[in-house]
C-alpha cells in the first residue's frame, strides 16, 4: 500500500499559505491564520557570520540557457566536529562571459560561535571552471567523512574528503564525471541495499554554446532566454557504487536512463514501503518520472500509474525541485514539488 499526495492539492495549499502570509486578499480568516502561524522569524546574518560569497549568474546578451540557473548549496560537517559547515556553488566563465576574476565555489567552516571561516583554498574544493548547478553530500566510501558531489554543466566533480580538512578531485578515477550532460541535481542513496551509496543524477537539456538558439524579438535588448522545449531533454544518470572508489554507469541497464527528461529536481525515498529506495525526478515542462525499484538492479517508470506524472488536469508542470517527507506521521512518504 502506498499513498502520494496529489501535487495539485499541495500546490493549492501552498498558494493559500502564501496568500495568507503576504496579505493578498486579506480576509479576516486569513489574517487570523497568519497571526497564528507566522510566529517564526528569520534574520539575515550571512554578512555578520562572515559569509561573503556572491553567486555570479554569468548573464550575457547571448542569453545562454545555463545563465538562468542558480548554483545551490549544501550543509556538510566535513570535519566531523558536530557543526554543519556550508558549501556554496558558483558559475564560471563561458565563451560569452569573462568575469574580472576567476569564479569559484566556497566552503565555509562553522566556528561554533555564529561565525564561519572561508576554508575553500585549504580544502581544495573551489571547483574553478565548473559552471555549477548544485551539490550533493554523501559518504560514498564509508570512511566516516562526508564527500562532495558538485553538479555542473558538461561535467561534475566528486571531491573525496581526506579527513584532514582537504579534499581530492577523484571524478575521473571514480567514473562520475557525467561528461557531456547538464547535471542539475543529484541524490546519494543505496538502491541495491549493499550499504554503499549509489548516485542518481538529474540531467536537463542538450544545450551547448554552439546550438544556442535566438529567442525573442529581433532588435537590441529584445533577445530572451529560450524555453527548454527548444532543446532535447537528457536522460537521468544512475551510478552504481562498486565499493572500491569507482562507480559504474548503469543508466541503461537499470532503466533509469531509458528515456530523456528535463530533470531539475530529484529525491529518493521508499514510496511503496518495500525496503528498497525508489527515485522521483521533477521534469521541467514534461511529465515527471517515478522509478520503482524492482529489487534486482532495475527500475520501472510508474509516474502515470502513481498519479504523479502530470497535474490533476493532465498538464505537465514546470518541475524544478522536489522533496519527500512523512508529513502526517503515517509512515508513508508524500511528495512535494
| 301 touches Ca ion (CB under 5 A) | no
CA angle 149, 175, 234 (to 5 degrees): 75
| 145 touches Ca ion (CB under 5 A) | yes
| 269 touches Ca ion (CB under 5 A) | no
Cell numbers that stand for 104 in this block: 569559484
Instruction: Write the CA distances from 216 to 209, 213, 226, 267, 326, integer angstroms.
Output: 17, 10, 8, 34, 43
Nearest approach, Cβ of 66 to Ca ion (angstroms)?
29
Out of 270, 285, 297, 336, which residue is the one contacting Ca ion (CB under 5 A)?
270
| 192 touches Ca ion (CB under 5 A) | yes
| 85 touches Ca ion (CB under 5 A) | yes
| 272 touches Ca ion (CB under 5 A) | yes
Nearest approach, Cβ of 24 to Ca ion (angstroms)?
40
Out of 4, 58, 69, 79, which residue is the one contacting Ca ion (CB under 5 A)?
79
| 83 touches Ca ion (CB under 5 A) | yes
Nearest approach, Cβ of 275 to Ca ion (angstroms)?
7
**Window 209 to 268, contacts with Ca ion (CB under 5 A):** none
Cβ closest to Ca ion, residue 146 vs residue 319 = 146
Out of 67, 278, 301, 317, which residue is the one contacting Ca ion (CB under 5 A)?
278
Out of 56, 77, 154, 177, which residue is the one contacting Ca ion (CB under 5 A)?
77
Binding site for Ca ion (CB under 5 A): 77, 79, 81, 83, 85, 139, 141, 143, 145, 147, 161, 190, 192, 194, 196, 198, 270, 272, 274, 276, 278, 293
Amino acid at each position: 500500500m502506498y499513498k502520494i499526495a496529489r501535487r495539485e492539492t499541495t500546490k493549492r495549499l501552498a498558494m493559500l499559505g502564501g496568500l495568507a502570509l503576504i496579505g493578498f486578499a486579506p480576509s479576516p480568516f486569513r489574517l487570523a491564520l497568519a497571526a497564528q502561524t507566522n510566529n517564526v522569524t528569520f534574520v539575515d546574518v550571512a554578512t555578520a557570520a562572515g559569509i561573503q560569497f556572491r553567486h555570479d549568474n554569468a548573464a550575457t546578451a547571448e542569453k545562454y540557457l545555463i545563465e538562468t540557473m542558480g548554483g545551490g548549496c549544501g550543509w556538510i560537517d566535513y570535519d566531523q566536529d558536530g557543526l554543519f559547515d556550508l558549501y556554496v556553488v558558483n558559475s564560471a566563465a563561458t565563451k560569452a562571459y569573462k568575469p574580472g576574476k576567476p569564479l569559484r565555489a566556497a566552503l565555509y567552516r562553522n566556528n561554533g560561535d555564529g561565525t564561519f571561516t572561508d576554508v575553500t583554498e585549504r580544502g581544495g574544493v573551489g571547483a574553478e571552471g565548473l559552471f555549477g548547478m548544485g551539490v550533493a553530500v554523501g559518504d560514498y566510501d564509508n570512511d566516516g567523512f562526508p564527500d562532495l558531489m558538485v553538479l555542473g554543466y558538461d561535467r561534475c566533480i566528486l571531491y573525496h574528503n581526506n579527513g584532514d580538512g582537504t579534499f581530492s578531485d577523484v571524478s575521473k578515477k571514480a567514473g562520475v564525471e557525467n561528461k557531456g550532460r547538464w547535471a542539475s541535481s543529484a541524490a546519494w542513496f543505496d538502491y541495491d541495499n549493499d550499504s554503499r551509496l549509489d548516485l542518481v543524477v538529474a540531467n536537463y537539456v542538450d544545450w551547448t554554446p554552439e546550438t544556442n538558439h535566438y529567442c525573442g524579438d529581433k532588435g537590441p535588448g529584445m533577445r530572451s532566454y529560450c524555453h527548454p522545449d527548444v532543446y532535447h531533454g537528457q536522460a537521468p544518470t544512475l551510478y552504481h557504487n562498486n565499493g572500491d572508489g569507482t562507480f559504474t554507469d548503469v543508466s541503461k541497464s537499470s532503466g533509469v536512463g531509458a528515456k530523456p527528461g528535463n530533470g531539475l529536481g530529484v529525491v529518493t525515498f521508499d514510496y511503496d514501503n518495500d525496503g528498497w529506495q525508489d527515485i522521483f525526478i521533477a521534469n521541467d515542462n514534461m511529465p515527471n518520472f517515478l522509478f520503482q525499484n524492482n529489487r534486482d538492479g532495475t527500475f520501472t517508470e510508474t509516474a502515470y500509474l502513481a498519479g504523479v506524472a502530470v497535474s490533476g488536469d493532465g498538464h505537465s508542470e514546470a518541475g524544478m525541485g522536489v522533496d519527500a517527507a512523512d508529513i502526517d506521521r503515517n509512515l508513508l512518504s508524500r511528495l512535494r514539488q
